Amino acid sequence: MFQLICLTCGRTCGDLTVANCPHDGGVLDLRYGSADIPLQPQLPGIWRYAARLPLTDPKCIVSLGEGDTPLLLSSRLGPASGTERLYFKNEGLNPTGSYKDRIASVGITYLRQLERRAWAATSSGNAGASLAAYGARAAVDGYLFTLERAPRAKIAQIMSYGPQVMSVKGLGYDPAAEKATWANIEALCDANDWLMLITARSNSPHAMEGAKTIAYEICQQLHDEAPDVVYVPVGGGGLLSSIWKGFKEWRRAGHIERLPRMVAVQPVGCDPVTQAWEAGRQVEPLEDCASAVSGIILTSPPDGDLVLGDLRESDGWALSIADEVTYAAQAELASQEGLFIEPAAAVVWAAIKADLASGRLRGDEKIVGLLTGIGFKDSAAVQRMSDDKPLPRIEASEILHIQPR
């Protein structure tokens, strides 16, 4: 069983279904009765960690086999940049192609436990695809409000699962539109007894518990050792904050002796968290977004201040990467490591490379870069990677004259 504790006022909420503190509107944290994390391998996917997830009835579990994604030691990029202990956690191998499947599995399971009949959410693509897939699996209706600028390939994937999809003017680049969208979705859900599933701890604390299982897996894959540094792409901020929570829980359970440093990576032109970190202040909304890296472009990140606290607590830092550098990193990951991932994931390799070059990283650390989504998510970025590559047309007889490179 779990309790809901407000991270602002510290009060315990009697109603376990609320999304925010009824006293001050603060972010709620799920706390469990025991520090132990007994594994339940008979349950599917991430649900082997059910003891630390908001599960009351195993019959309500909705799973497509999420989790258990590989942690791969870099074969070329790390050694070429001066580090032999660089790992990539490939979350693009989840069922719909991103880490959001972990959140959707918990969120739709929680919806079924509450006996609600529909979900509503915002998404630039990945969360929408996850919620739509898991919602289809559970036979519940879905309503997705997306960005005008969202990649069409992501929207096509969402539509294939059958929810109602609408784009909202200004969402993704207008702070007022973002806040109005979230407030109106909340009101819509309250009026219809639906579940609002925004992938942020400040909006969906129950569902976001799914993301912390990434930290559990990383530690298990490193034979119950924590990394020294973990790089996480940051848009809304909930992913980094959830992973940091997961590392702390894994240590409290006695499985690791120390915690990693957390690094928040954002795109230049849409980096309110990095700007706040560098200025030593709280996150302030940006007036506009000048980045095209879909998935991590939010002018007003709902969990931004949580990220700042987590960076301070972990002795970490934040940095931003230019779009063109991110696209180059995406191509390097594909050609040098065989990892086909979207730009929002490639930004972490660009950041690691920059920190190695600047000396911020010594090179002997055990580094984990979180690759959040598969490359097929952004078709324009895929096309960009191959635009300058020739595609010769040859006769069949010419095959015999091909020379080894």
Check which CATH number belongs to the domain holding 259 and give it.
Answer: 3.40.50.1100
pLDDT (average), residues 20-48: 95
What pLDDT shows up at residue 370? 98
**At which residue do the structure tokens 């990140």 appear?**
301
What pLDDT shows up at residue 3? 95
Q: Which of 70, 66, 71, 139 is nearest to 103 (CA)?
A: 66
Share of the chain above pLDDT 70, in %: 100
pLDDT (average), residues 111-123: 94
**Tokens representing residue 82 in the block:** 């001066």
Say what the alpha-carbon torsion angle 55, 57, 63, 65 is, to the nearest 10 degrees: 70
What pLDDT shows up at residue 84? 97
What pLDDT shows up at residue 26? 96
Residue 169 lies in a domain: no
Range of the domain at 256: 71-98+207-386
Burial class from Cβ neighbours inside 10 Å (0-12, 13-18, 19+) for residue 373 reads: buried
pLDDT-derived band of residue 388, with 50, 70 and 90 as boundaries?
confident
Starting at the edge strand found earlier in the chain, the sheet holding 317-321 runs 71-73, 86-90, 367-371, 229-233, 261-267, 317-321
Determine the Cα–Cα distance for residues 109 and 115; give it in Å rounded to an integer: 10
pLDDT-derived band of residue 401, with 50, 70 and 90 as boundaries?
very high
pLDDT-derived band of residue 179, with 50, 70 and 90 as boundaries?
confident
Q: Please give the tally of structural domains in the chain.
A: 1
Residue 24 lies in a domain: no
**Tokens representing residue 89 in the block:** 């956690």
Residue 400 lies in a domain: no
Length of the chain: 405
What pLDDT shows up at residue 259? 98
Share of the chain above pLDDT 90, in %: 83
Residue 381 lies in a domain: yes
Question: Residue 279's CB: how many other CB atoms inside 10 A?
Answer: 9
What pLDDT shows up at residue 226? 98
Q: Which of 307, 265, 266 is nearest to 289 (CA)?
A: 266
Angle between helices 304-314 and 272-279 (to 10 degrees): 50
Sign of CA dihedral 379, 382, 388, 392: negative
Residue 367 lies in a domain: yes
Residue 184 lies in a domain: no
What pLDDT shows up at residue 120? 96
- pLDDT at 112 > cutoff 80: yes
pLDDT (average), residues 291-320: 95
Predicted model pTM = 0.94
What pLDDT shows up at residue 152? 77
Residue 39 lies in a domain: no
Sign of CA dihedral 286, 290, 294, 296: negative
Residue 269 lies in a domain: yes
